[in-house]
Amino acid sequence: MACSLYRRLLRCLALCLGLLGSVSVWAAWPDKPIRIVVAFPPGATTDIIARAFSAPLSEALGQPIIIENRPGAGGNIATVAVARSPADGYTFLMHSVAYAVNPSLYTKAGYEVGKDLASVAIAGVSPNILYVHPSVKANTLAELLALAKTDKLSYASSGNGTTTHLGAELLFRNLAKVDVQHVPFSPAAAANAVVSGQVPLGSTSIPPVVQLAKAGKVRPIAVTSSRRSGAMPDVPTVAELGYPGFESNTWIDRKSTRLNSSHGYIS
């Protein structure tokens, strides 16, 4: 994944700079460290993916890759920080699908999709997963939904407007017709909230949950991808469990500021 990502990054930059006639700029890039601003805290899926490819990308480019976590406001803090940074090709944003959703959720997100930043590459796609605290008396999705009809349940997501939030709402309210209260957390904190018993049910991306499930700290119920996850092959999909066509994944996208006054951009 990392290799294909940095090859695409190089191709995109070469094409963009070539179109701008900035051959001398392209020949010099990069001549200093590159900063990747991650919109979520350490341990979140976005952070895990950013750090996974930073070493091979650094080796390929011959410059250090600096990972900077700027969580908050569903990723808006990091997005605005990158949008306001110099448009010189040395600052990138690592964000999720929330980047596209936030302007419709926040009165003032602080940026405009498609204007302030330009997409470089999809860095990864992660299935989301539904899981419960071991004390919850539900081992299957059907049992969980039946329990939600008689007991007042709540679920932890990775934040307002994330696919872990919107996908769960689609399943619970639109399809299953059950009322489950949404409790937004930061991505890393959501799983811990379920482990501690603060919230009985979680809807997050899968990476933080794998080891927790193996340790028996949470019980997986279903993954939301169209196919089972290789990381947890024994966990069925929501589509398998009576909701054909259901799919809700978290994609991780890498973005850059638009290049300087010539108004060229990376896409």
Given a cut of 60, whether residue 266 has pLDDT beyond it is: no
CA distance 207 to 235: 14
Query: What is the pLDDT averaged over residues 216-239?
Result: 95
What would the pLDDT profile of 23-40 be if each residue is shown by its tens digit? Answer: 454 557 888 999 999 998
Residue of 91, 83, 77 whose CA lies nearest to 112: 83
The pLDDT-based confidence of 221 (bands split at 50, 70, 90) is very high
The more confidently predicted of residues 13 and 184 is: 184
The pLDDT assigned to 127 comes to 87
Residues near 149 by beta carbon (within 8 Å), at least 6 away in sequence: 178
Given a cut of 60, whether residue 123 has pLDDT beyond it is: yes
The more confidently predicted of residues 63 and 11 is: 63
Query: What is the pLDDT averaged over residues 93-114?
Result: 85
Question: What global pTM score does this model have?
Answer: 0.68
The pLDDT assigned to 202 comes to 97
- Looking up tokens 């944003």, which residue turns up? 93
Query: What is the pLDDT averaged over residues 157-165?
Result: 87
Q: Which two tokens stand for residue 180?
A: 């489950």
Is residue 164 a contact partner of residue 258, using CB atoms and an 8 Å limit?
no
Which of 106-120, 130-144, 243-257 shows the lowest mean pLDDT across its residues?
A: 243-257
Residues near 182 by beta carbon (within 8 Å), at least 6 away in sequence: 154, 155, 157, 165, 168, 169
CA distance 16 to 267: 8
Given a cut of 60, whether residue 234 has pLDDT beyond it is: yes
The pLDDT assigned to 14 comes to 47
The more confidently predicted of residues 29 and 166 is: 166
The pLDDT assigned to 10 comes to 53
Give the mean pLDDT of the chain: 83
What would the pLDDT profile of 52-103 be if each residue is shown by its tens digit? Answer: 888 888 888 899 999 999 998 888 999 999 999 988 888 999 988 788 888 8
